[in-house]
Amino acid sequence: MGAETMSRVNGTGTGGISALLARQIDVALSNRMPKDSELAKAPLLAVEYARAPFVVAVHGDLGITALTTRQLAGLYGEGAQTFPNGQRARPVLRLSEDTDTLLLKSFTPELAQAMDAAGRRRGMLVANTDGETADLLERTPGAFAGSTLALIESERRPLVALEIDGRRPNPQGLADGSYPHFKTQYLIVRPDATEHTRSFAAYVQSAEGRALLRASGRLPR
């Protein structure tokens, strides 16, 4: 598994799959399975390699470590909303059909309703990708948004994954069912993948690869 193979791995989602189909990369890491329209172009092979706790994240300097879902819904309210410590709260929104949006809405109907209302207001912070979201959380005082523990830990972001309703987001919580929110992560290759690419895919699922996944905030599958 050489440096060339590693440099041709990309994620996540539509961009990675499109690059894989265009033979610009050898492996795509995605939060979703390939669509039928993508499989029509090539019979891509996908395997679920991990689940990443889906979290509500804030900057570590904010001084917030936990919220209830009721408090979280309130932070999407109109006007100047504040965290329990009095700091100004600013939600970062994603597109309405984005995976992060749908996952957050699944927390509670009250939260979904509050997010829908926030999405109709002007002047809201909006991000299009996981990376853009994390960047906004880093540079915008009081910003909060959905993210994954894997992104925070693997990229060493100065962010905190909040406990929600007393549930701590970590791989063990996914394993024992105490934390129910996660993103499924897939490794996708072309059917004519090279030997190096297949070796990389096998390594991800090996004992050493699984240990690295756990260390980066994921639950290996």
Three-state SS annotation for the chain: CCHHHHHCEEECCHHHHHHHHCCCCCEEEECCCCCHHHHCCCCCEEEEEEEEEEEEEEEHHHCCCEECHHHHHHCCCCCCEECCCCCEEEEEECCCCCHHHHHHHCCCHHHHHHHHHHHCCCCCEECCCHHHHHHHHHHCCCEEEEEEHHHHHHCCCCEEECEECCECCCHHHHHHCCCCCEEEEEEEECCCCCHHHHHHHHHHCCHHHHHHHHHCCCEEC
- Flag whether pLDDT at 6 surpasses 80: no
- Flag whether pLDDT at 7 surpasses 60: no
- Flag whether pLDDT at 10 surpasses 60: no
- pLDDT at position 1: 37
Question: What are 92's strand-pairing partners?
Answer: 125
Tell me if domain 3-51+183-220 and domain 53-176 are identical in fold. yes
Instruction: Show me where the domains of the chain are located.
Output: 3-51+183-220, 53-176
Task: Label residue 31 by pLDDT band (50, 70, 90).
Answer: confident
For the whole model, what pTM was predicted? 0.85
Topology annotation, domain 3-51+183-220: D-Maltodextrin-Binding Protein; domain 2 (3.40.190)
131: phi then psi, degrees, rounded to nearest 5: -65, -45
- Flag whether pLDDT at 3 surpasses 50: no
27-31, 60-64, 110-114, 179-183: which range is least confident on average?
A: 27-31
Count of other CB atoms within 10 angstroms of residue 153 = 17
- Flag whether pLDDT at 72 surpasses 80: yes
182 closest CA partner among 33, 29, 51: 51
Whole-number average pLDDT of the chain: 92
pLDDT of 98-152, one tens digit each?
999 999 999 999 999 999 999 999 999 999 999 999 999 999 999 999 999 999 9
6-10, 95-99, 204-208: which range is least confident on average?
A: 6-10
- pLDDT at position 126: 97
- pLDDT at position 9: 52
State what percent of residues in the chain have pLDDT above 70: 94
R_g (Cα) of the chain, nearest Å: 18
Task: Label residue 12 by pLDDT band (50, 70, 90).
Answer: low
CATH class of 53-176: alpha beta
